[in-house]
Amino acid sequence: MTSSVLYASTGPEEVGQAVSLENLPSLISAKKARIGVVGLGYVGLPLAVELAKAGFSVSGIDKDCRKVAGINSGRSHVLDVSSDDVGQLVSSGKLQATSNYDAVAELDVVFICVPTPHDAAKAPDLTYVQAASEEIASRLRAGQLIVLESTTYPGTTEEVMLPLLQASGLTPGVDFAVAFSPERVDPGNTRFDTRTTPKVVGGLTQRCSELTKLVFEQILGEGASVHVVSSPRAAEMTKLLENCFRSVNIALVNEMALLCDRMGINIWEVIDAAATKPFGYMPFYPGPGVGGHCIPVDPYYLSWKARQYDFYTKFIELAAEINLSMPFYVVQKVAEALNSRDKSVRDSRILVLGAAFKKDVNDARNSPSIRVMELLLREGARLEYNDPYIPEVTVGLGIFSRRSQEIQLRSVVLDDAAVRHADCVVFTVPHSAYDVDWVLEHADLVVDTVNATKHANGHHQKVVLI
């Protein structure tokens, strides 16, 4: 099935196509270059919208026909992008979406923003990058710029994507340009977005870097700039350093939380105190684990690649191990809390608040909350969950055995009955929509993994912090 959006065959003069790389800079500067974004998720759609706002004609390409239909109807499926913006851009003709890769033939610049997950053995899964590259290669022409934005290990652009593009018979760096520019999207962040976050660019050649830099300069706002590095590999490593930095520091504070619990010290109080130091310290916070598209995945991309060089990233892998252990610790705290009320996890009614991987986002990929649910179900809990952004989740019941079994859970209404009937309410995501005081008023027992109840207002006796 393909989108109903069709692309008429027109000449280069009519659509402003670059017939060689020499023509491309003037088209970009004049906003006449036609730009495509492959993958219209939390990275691709914000990028497509900002490019269209800057005045470019933008074609989004995605195999998900529901996303395509929604965008062409003026609806956004990404919380960080308003439907009003999408609707106005579609109505003006600056933005359109399709599931047909034939659009590539008429584009001057193509951004690839597809997922890069890992498989069950934590090895990189580049299926989406390879599929997109093959589709583009079969339609590649002279004068085009191809930019990979998907987070991946150093070498992907040159070792995986480039050979596929070269199958077109065109010469990279001469006939067409190739670069890597890591996405730096932080879903739910209202301060830094696609327009206000500096970009890193690493091109196959200096010309490739300059062309990519020129495109980003058309959309970045005041204070955001483009930093050019020497190669795609350096740009790819930059993103992994950024996320491994976060993973390691989250693991550090998670381990401190475990120690503070054993010593009877409130880790949240300690973090607040340490954060008063104006230099040499940056606060990170413990939680039920790490989730999303990058932090749980990127360390394994790096460690997998490092082994090809007989190098073992022990420190980084240890951090990932600590973060992966946190859902088990949360279940242990739930069990201890219930034991204090002469109850066990088995047959207890447990209400989990939050299924997204972080606050105020509609993305549950690699969510530690879901792992907590799986562990509680394995222990025999009668489990329900609520999340205003995630209406349904799939949880695996056979995750620690060869027998795989999955069930669907639907978000329950967060009302009086749901909270009062729960033997334990577990905060795993501090969504802004949650009225914490109301939950505390009606709940009998609360396990708080994210310090949502920091202003408990006299209900401390029923709250257990991780």
Q: What CATH number does the domain containing 450 carry?
A: 3.40.50.720
Classify strands 349-353 and 446-448 as parallel, antiparallel or unpaired. unpaired
Q: How large a percentage of the chain has pLDDT more than 90?
A: 87
- Which of 113, 208, 260, 294 is the catalytic position? 294
- Does position 403 have pLDDT exceeding 80, yes or no? no
Percentage of the residues of the chain whose pLDDT score is greater than 70: 95
Rounded mean pLDDT, 443-462: 90
Q: For residue 405, what pLDDT is reported? A: 81
DSSP letters for 165-226 = HHTTSPPBTTTBEEEE------TT-SS--TTTS-EEEEESSHHHHHHHHHHHHTT--TT--E
The residue from 202, 234, 266 where one domain ends is: 234
Within-domain flag for 460:
yes
Q: What mean pLDDT do residues 385-402 have?
A: 82
427 shares its domain with 298: yes
- Residue 113 appears among annotated catalytic residues: no
| Same domain flag for 124 and 168 | yes
Q: What is the largest CA-CA distance in the chain?
A: 78
Residue whose tokens read 């949360």 = 330
392 shares its domain with 267: yes
Residue at a domain's end among 214, 234, 254: 234
Same structural domain, 289 and 394:
yes
Is residue 111 classed as helix, strand or coil in its secondary structure?
A: strand
Task: Dihedral sign for Cα 301, 322, 200, 54, please.
Answer: positive
Phi, psi values for residue 43, rounded to 5°: -100, -50
| C-beta pairs of 313-317 under 8 Å, 24+ apart in sequence | 315/248, 316/244, 316/247, 316/248
- Do the domain assignments include residue 181? yes
pTM here?
0.91
Residues 452, 383 share a domain = yes
DSSP label of 54: T
Q: Are 368 and 395 part of one and the same domain?
A: yes
Structure tokens at 319: 């951090």
Task: Please report which confidence band the pLDDT of residue 398 belongs to, taking 50, 70 and 90 as the band edges.
Answer: low
Q: State the average pLDDT over residues 254-265.
A: 97
196-229 confidence digits (pLDDT tens):
999 999 999 999 999 999 999 999 988 899 999 9
Identify whether residues 363 and 447 lie together within a single domain.
yes
CA distance 175 to 304: 33
| pLDDT attached to residue 461 | 83
**Single residue among 204, 234, 264 that ends a domain in this structure:** 234
With a cut of 90, say whether residue 301 has pLDDT above it: yes
- For residue 108, the Cα-to-chain-centroid distance in whole angstroms is 27
Structure tokens at 222: 């005041």
Looking at residue 293, its pLDDT comes to 84
Q: How many domains does the chain have?
A: 2
Is position 4 within any domain? no
- In-domain check, residue 6: no
Q: Domain for residue 254, yes or no?
A: yes
Tell whether 3 is covered by a domain.
Answer: no
Which ranges constitute the DSSP H helices of 283-422?
298-306, 314-339, 368-378, 416-420
Establish if 7 belongs to a structural domain.
no
Return the pLDDT at 11.
Answer: 41
CA–CA distance, 12 with 95 (Å, rounded to integer): 20
Mean pLDDT over the full length of the chain: 93
Is the Cα dihedral 132, 236, 55, 26 positive or negative? negative
What count of Cα atoms within 13 Å lies in the side-chain half-sphere of residue 374? 22
Burial of 447 (0-12, 13-18, 19+ CB in 10 A): buried
For residues 227 and 255, state if they share a domain. Answer: no
CA distances, 437 to each of 38, 231, 452 (Å): 44, 52, 10
Cβ neighbours of 392 (radius 10 Å)? 11
Q: Which of 132-136, 248-252, 311-315, 462-466 shows the lowest mean pLDDT across its residues? A: 462-466
In a domain, 25, yes or no: yes
* pLDDT at residue 406, rounded to an integer: 86
In single-letter form, the type of residue at position 448 comes to D
Q: What order of strands is seen across the sheet that includes strand 463-465?
A: 382-386, 349-353, 424-427, 446-448, 463-465
Between 244 and 18, the more confident residue is 244
Question: In this structure, are 166 and 270 located in the same domain?
Answer: no
User: Could you list the residue range(s) of the whole structural domain that residue 167 is in?
Assistant: 12-234
Task: Give residue 437's pLDDT band: very low, low, confident or very high (50, 70, 90).
Answer: very high
- pLDDT higher than 90, residue 310: yes
Clarify whether residues 252 and 206 are in a common domain: no
Query: Looking at the structure, do residues 289 and 415 belong to the same domain, yes or no?
Result: yes
Residues 292, 170 within the same domain? no
For residue 7, the model assigns a pLDDT of: 37
Residue 10: pLDDT above 80?
A: no
Residue corresponding to tokens 């219209």: 40
3-state secondary structure of 325: helix
243 phi, psi to nearest 5 deg: -80, -30
User: pLDDT-derived band of residue 19, with 50, 70 and 90 as boundaries?
Assistant: confident
